[in-house]
């Protein structure tokens, strides 16, 4: 459920600043201009947090706080003072009535978010309601590792992606970086000295800005104890050394909830192209299955009714691949999309060995396949699955 924050301040400026401060978090901001309005709104809305000024007309913050704390229904609502009244004696007097925190104006918006985040669960809003981030969007990945060679290996292995890989050698460097620019994902070596990977993980999880940032552990495969410990405390996943960069890339995409459909589907020169990768593991097939129908529908909706199913990169044919291809061809027929297949010599030969595939015809290249659509009778003749 959305958190509700009630700001009680006679200054509209402060109320606007509060609203602005929390605009990128999933919470509702309620406003009151004095203690009387504040109490009424608190009783009506039961906010999760009250930000309270002291000097206000009608009823000041001290009186409102006193009344709030003497009301059995309302006394449990956490209150954080946000006021220019900051003399030591004054703060002590108010603290005795019962407040969770005290911010003296002027204040930095980051400090307000951080302190509020210690009291309520502040979830960052996802940018935009519908459009998912894709593999082509830039992202920042922080790798915390005291061995430069590993950072270099990850940078090298992911250099074809639009992701920026930043290296940090220590927990301190990582914290400094995260406080300035929260990364999209963090990879931490679990072999950092003095278990600092786990301390860093805890710090990331207590900071509002990195609370939901995916954190990967990095460990040698044989370190099973450390691996289990990381899984237990809640690391998003654990990557084992030696690093398989292809696997790492997939896991990063999944953790960042990226739209990976561009790996398999595209529109090229007016054709809907479905390309099967070299190695079709169960995970890859599941990913393809997720996108196939929506992507084909999207293409048809955009006016594309010709498809090329390109399996020329595929290393070997197996039942999972065959099922996927049969499904793709069936969907094309259902959507009245003409399609052709492109495959390599080995695949053509392997197709002869299966009942389901022995009648399939393939073009050798995408260019040939594309050209075939110009010939009046070519496409239906090829689509004989």
Q: What H or E segment, with its residue span, contains residue 341?
A: strand 338-342
Among residue numbers 126 through 145, which ones bind another protein (CB under 8 A)? none
What are φ and ψ of residue 104, in 5° steps?
-95, 130
84 binds another protein (CB under 8 A): yes
Of 28, 43, 45, 57, the one binding another protein (CB under 8 A) is 57
- Give the span between the Cα atoms of 263 and 261, in whole angstroms: 5
Residue written as tokens 């590993």?
A: 150
Helix (H, G, I), strand (E, B) or coil at 40: helix
Of 87, 128, 129, 374, the one binding another protein (CB under 8 A) is 87
Of 12, 318, 323, 352, the one binding another protein (CB under 8 A) is 12
11 binds another protein (CB under 8 A): yes
- Give the span between the Cα atoms of 302 and 292, in whole angstroms: 15
CB of 65 to another protein, least distance (A): 16
Q: 208: how many CB neighbours lie within 10 A of its CB? A: 20
66 binds another protein (CB under 8 A): no
Closer to another protein by Cβ: residue 105 or 164: 105
Of 106, 128, 193, 225, the one binding another protein (CB under 8 A) is 106
Of 40, 43, 46, 55, the one binding another protein (CB under 8 A) is 55
- Give the span between the Cα atoms of 380 and 339, in whole angstroms: 8
88 binds another protein (CB under 8 A): yes
If you ran DSSP here, which 8-state letter would residue 223 be given? -
Structure tokens at 247: 């696997």
If you ran DSSP here, which 8-state letter would residue 261 be given? G
How many whole angstroms from its chain centre is CA 10?
38
Which of 355, 358, 360 shows the shortest CA–CA distance to 328?
360
322 binds another protein (CB under 8 A): no
Which of 203, 224, 328, 319 shows the shortest CA–CA distance to 275?
328
374 binds another protein (CB under 8 A): no
56 binds another protein (CB under 8 A): yes
13 binds another protein (CB under 8 A): yes
Provide the phi-psi class of 119: left if phi over 0, else alpha when psi is between -120 and 50, else beta: alpha
How many Cα atoms sit within 13 Å of 293 on the Cβ side? 7
Q: Which stretch binds another protein (CB under 8 A): 104-112, 232-240, 298-306, 355-363?
A: 104-112
Q: Which stretch binds another protein (CB under 8 A): 11-19, 39-47, 343-351, 376-384?
A: 11-19
93 binds another protein (CB under 8 A): no
What is the rounded (10 degree) CA torsion for 233, 236, 237, 241? -90
**Helix spans in 99-223 (H):** 109-119, 148-157, 171-180, 196-206
Closer to another protein by Cβ: residue 92 or 132: 92
CB of 17 to another protein, least distance (A): 7
Among residue numbers 221 through 280, which ones bind another protein (CB under 8 A)? none
Closer to another protein by Cβ: residue 104 or 203: 104
Closer to another protein by Cβ: residue 21 or 213: 21
Of 70, 76, 95, 108, the one binding another protein (CB under 8 A) is 108
Q: Which stretch binds another protein (CB under 8 A): 81-89, 142-150, 210-218, 342-350?
A: 81-89
Q: What H or E segment, with its residue span, contains residue 349?
A: helix 345-351
CB of 176 to another protein, least distance (A): 21
CB of 101 to another protein, least distance (A): 17
Total interface residues for another protein by CB under 8 A: 25
What are φ and ψ of residue 351, in 5° steps?
-65, -30
Which of 192, 184, 194 shows the shortest CA–CA distance to 236?
184
CB of 40 to another protein, least distance (A): 21
Of 67, 74, 78, 90, the one binding another protein (CB under 8 A) is 90
Q: Residues in the site for another protein, rule: CB under 8 A?
A: 10-14, 16-17, 20, 54-57, 83-90, 104-108
């Amino acid at each position: 459920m959305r958190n509700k924050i009630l700001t009680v301040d006679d200054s509209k400026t402060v109320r606007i600043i509060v609203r602005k401060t929390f605009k990128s978090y999933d919470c509702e901001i309620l406003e009151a201009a004095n203690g009387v309005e504040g109490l009424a709104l608190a009783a009506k809305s039961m906010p999760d947090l009250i930000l309270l000024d002291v000097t206000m007309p009608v009823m000041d913050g001290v009186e409102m706080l006193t009344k709030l704390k003497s009301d059995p229904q309302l006394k449990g609502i956490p209150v954080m003072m946000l006021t220019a009244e900051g003399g030591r004696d004054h703060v002590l007097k108010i603290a005795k009535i019962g407040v969770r925190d005290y911010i003296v104006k002027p204040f930095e918006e980051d400090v307000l978010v951080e302190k509020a985040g210690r009291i309520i669960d502040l979830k960052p809003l996802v940018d935009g309601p519908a459009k998912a981030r894709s593999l082509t969007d830039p992202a920042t990945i922080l790798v915390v590792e005291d061995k430069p060679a590993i950072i270099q290996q990850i940078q090298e292995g992911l250099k074809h992606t639009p992701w920026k890989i930043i290296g940090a050698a220590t927990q301190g460097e990582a914290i400094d970086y995260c406080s300035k620019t929260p990364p999209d994902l963090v990879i931490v070596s679990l072999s950092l000295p003095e278990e600092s990977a786990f301390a860093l993980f805890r710090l990331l999880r207590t900071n509002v800005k990195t609370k939901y940032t995916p954190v990967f552990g990095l460990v040698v495969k044989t370190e099973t104890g450390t691996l289990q410990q990381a899984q237990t405390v809640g690391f998003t996943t654990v990557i084992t050394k030696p690093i398989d960069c292809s696997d790492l890339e997939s896991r990063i995409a999944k953790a960042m909830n990226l739209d990976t459909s561009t790996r398999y589907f595209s529109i090229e020169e007016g054709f809907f192209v479905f390309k099967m990768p070299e190695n079709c593991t169960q995970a890859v097939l599941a990913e393809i299955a997720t996108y196939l129908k929506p992507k084909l529908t999207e293409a048809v909706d955009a006016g594309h009714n010709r498809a090329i199913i390109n399996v020329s990169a595929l290393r070997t044919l197996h039942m999972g691949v065959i099922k996927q291809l049969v499904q793709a061809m069936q969907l094309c027929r259902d959507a009245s999309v003409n399609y052709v297949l492109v495959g390599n010599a080995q695949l053509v030969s392997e197709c002869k060995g299966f009942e389901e595939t022995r009648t399939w015809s393939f073009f050798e290249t995408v260019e040939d396949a594309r050209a075939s659509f110009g010939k009046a009778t070519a496409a239906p003749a090829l689509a004989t699955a």
